A and B are shown apart, each in its own frame.
Chain A
Amino acid sequence: MELRAELKYSKSHEWVKEEGDIVVIGLTDYAQSELGDLVFVNLPEEGDEVNVGDSFADVESVKAVSDVYAPVSGVICEVNEELLDAPEKMNEAPYDAWLVKVKDITEKEELLTAEEYQAFVESEQD
């Protein structure tokens, strides 16, 4: 399982990167390996509001669909449309394949560091 020290993680397996006032969200390496080959992602629209804990997108494998939850509250300011044509990027390079960027952040859930997330995943596997 690949982890990146500079990122924060949620317990629902999203990674979070803070770029100034903007928060970038994607799926962790662990999430993509559990979900298997991803074939599509349903993304929100720019301008949509998201709230902590709400599902803002879903990812499809051949025989399953899984929700992606927002670790922050704010307004979607950019979506990664490239993933619509190349969903495999979420499997191949999960930390480059960001899903959305969020601005006007009003709330953040308590996020984990790389070490904490690793411990969390290990505890979940037991």
Chain B
Amino acid sequence: MLIFEKSRPGRGCSTLPACDVEVVRPKERDKRELKLHMPELSEVELSRHYTELAKKSHGVNDGFYPLGSCTMKYNPRINEEIAALPGFKEIHPLQPEHTVQGCLEVLKRSEEALCEITGMDAMTLQPAAGAHGEFTGLLLMKAYHHSRGDQKRTKIIVPDSAHGTNPASAAMAGYSVVSIPSGPDGCVDLKKLREAVGDDIAGLMLTNPNTVGLFDKNILEITDIVHECGGLCYYDGANLNAVMGTVRPGDMGFDVIHLNLHKTFSTPHGGGGPGSGPVGCKACLAEFLPSVRVDGEEVLRLTKAEHGIGEVKSFYGNFLVVVRALTYIMTLGREGITEASQNAVLNANYMMHKLKEQYQMAYDEVCMHEFVMSLSDLKKSTGVSAMDIAKGLLDHEIHPPTMYFPLIVEEALMVEPTETESKETIDEAVGVFRELYELAVKDAERLHNAPVSTPVGRLDEVKAARHPVLRYSFDV
């Protein structure tokens, strides 16, 4: 039941005292006439409403969450407590500099650590999410080319296996997109890349490991090809959890990167956000970084880059998310960061190894932190699709892998166990996957009808999109 349906006129919570000064109200011209319909519930009803909503949700703490490309690792509790410290939470963003030295220290330390982990020279923490970081990074590239009087570079190369945000960000930054097909091994097709480069190319966007979970061994050659044509290389940090401490994007020839603190650096996803998408770059791009950065040793101060692209968001980014990420980095430290990545890769390979007896792997070789299965043979023989297997997992309280991505693999399921899952959890999940495979062969119909144990069954998405109901209607 919606909160509005539980509302009863006259009920409410006692939040504010009476006004202790003479009451002023807006004049006729600006007075609200439309009736407000905020819910009227007592505190106990309100509390139970949200407890009920929480019960109908599945977070990392509810069970295994191998959602490929999303890095659903455990969100450490200490991070939450640190982010709730009044010394961070109650600070106005426009306080004088000498009263926010602690906040500036958080920004400075975070920038230093993240630059070291990625092999970059400078970083902005202002972007609020990965896609926002992509947009920011592309604008750095645009500003760089323009500063050299080079306006003819109007295209960005994006592999066809890329996440949808890559081409969408390129378009927002005013670029047209050149999509290049992946080779049969899922990696960049060097021949196609060579054909695509030229003096109209502003740069290339790439993840490594790529979106099928493989490390592209030709990476130095790839970044060389782009640099030789005068373009820049953009690293999408979505998959950084595979290589932290082992490989740095900066050492692979990338000039600009974004990170997803809400993936790699353990901050919670919050049901879709807030995230944080810091953008790092090599020294040659630092003068174009947006907004302010922190400078100084004893006394910290905010400084603006000389030819910055401006602001991409208000203030200093999703600061409390950065606080959580810094807490995580300080906890893990030099060795822990590397250990996290190594075990993310170990868990993925272990799970892939156990599953490949039955499930068809899209690329049967050593993977990084995630792997992609193709269920197209299973679908042909049994009619059971990737979607059906995913829905079957829901009845076992496992969050399904990412479905139908990357687009270059048919009936794809993309599995990312992360390093914070134990061997037993993975073994159990493998057991469930096997059970579902057998069920697909024996009784496909049951999987077509899954899930059966969730608060609702499969929902009619066609109806939702054809005749959208996007809000509760108070008139009815």
* B residues in contact with A94, CB < 8 Å: none
Distance in Å: Cβ of A2 to nearest Cβ of chain B: 21
**Contact pattern, A 22-40, Cβ under 8 Å of B = 1, otherwise 0:** 0000000000000001011
Q: How far is the CA of A39 from the CA of B404 in the complex (A)?
A: 20
Q: How far is the CA of A63 from the CA of B462 in the complex (A)?
A: 10
* A residues in contact with B24, CB < 8 Å: none
Task: Give the total number of A-B pairs whose CB atoms are below 8 A apart.
Answer: 14
* B residues in contact with A87, CB < 8 Å: 466
A49: CB under 8 A from chain B? Answer: no
* Dominant secondary structure of chain A at its interface with chain B: loop
Size category of the binding interface on chain B:
under 10
* Dominant secondary structure of chain B at its interface with chain A: helix
* A residues in contact with B465, CB < 8 Å: 39-40, 60, 62
Q: How far is the CA of A102 from the CA of B445 in the complex (A)?
A: 47
**Contact pattern, B 384-407, Cβ under 8 Å of A = 1, otherwise 0:** 000000000000000000001000
Q: How far is the CA of A37 from the CA of B465 in the complex (A)?
A: 10
Q: How far is the CA of A37 from the CA of B462 in the complex (A)?
A: 7
A78: CB under 8 A from chain B? Answer: no
For chain A, residues 47 to 62, give those with C-beta under 8 angstroms from any C-beta of chain B. Answer: 60, 62
* A residues in contact with B461, CB < 8 Å: 62
* A residues in contact with B404, CB < 8 Å: 63
Q: How far is the CA of A37 from the CA of B466 in the complex (A)?
A: 9
* B residues in contact with A63, CB < 8 Å: 404
Minimal Cβ-Cβ distance residue in B for A87? B466
Minimal Cβ-Cβ distance residue in B for A38? B466
For chain B, residues 404 to 436, give those with C-beta under 8 angstroms from any C-beta of chain A. Answer: 404
Distance in Å: Cβ of B413 to nearest Cβ of chain A: 16
Distance in Å: Cβ of A64 to nearest Cβ of chain B: 10
* B residues in contact with A88, CB < 8 Å: 466
Q: How far is the CA of A103 from the CA of B461 in the complex (A)?
A: 37
Among A39, A40, A60, A88, residue most surrounded by chain B Cβ atoms (within 10 Å): A39
* B residues in contact with A60, CB < 8 Å: 465
Among B404, B461, B465, residue most surrounded by chain A Cβ atoms (within 10 Å): B465
For chain A, residues 2 to 38, give those with C-beta under 8 angstroms from any C-beta of chain B. Answer: 37
* A residues in contact with B466, CB < 8 Å: 37, 39-40, 87-88
Distance in Å: Cβ of B62 to nearest Cβ of chain A: 26
Distance in Å: Cβ of A94 to nearest Cβ of chain B: 16
Q: How far is the CA of A115 from the CA of B466 in the complex (A)?
A: 33
Q: How far is the CA of A77 from the CA of B404 in the complex (A)?
A: 40
Distance in Å: Cβ of A97 to nearest Cβ of chain B: 14
Distance in Å: Cβ of A83 to nearest Cβ of chain B: 11
Minimal Cβ-Cβ distance residue in A for B467? A85
Distance in Å: Cβ of B357 to nearest Cβ of chain A: 31
**Contact pattern, A 79-99, Cβ under 8 Å of B = 1, otherwise 0:** 000000001100000000000
**Contact pattern, B 325-361, Cβ under 8 Å of A = 1, otherwise 0:** 0000000000000000000000000000000000000
A residues contacting B by CB (< 8 A) are 37, 39-40, 60, 62-63, 87-88
B residues contacting A by CB (< 8 A) are 404, 461-462, 465-466
Between A and B, 5 residue pairs with Cβ closer than 8 Å are: A39-B466, A40-B465, A62-B462, A62-B465, A63-B404
Task: State the 8 A-B residue pairs at the shortest beta-carbon distance, nearest first.
Answer: A39-B465, A37-B462, A62-B461, A39-B466, A62-B465, A87-B466, A62-B462, A39-B462
Other than the known A62-B461, A88-B466, what 7 A-B pairs have Cβ atoms closer than 8 Å? A37-B462, A39-B462, A39-B465, A40-B466, A60-B465, A62-B465, A87-B466
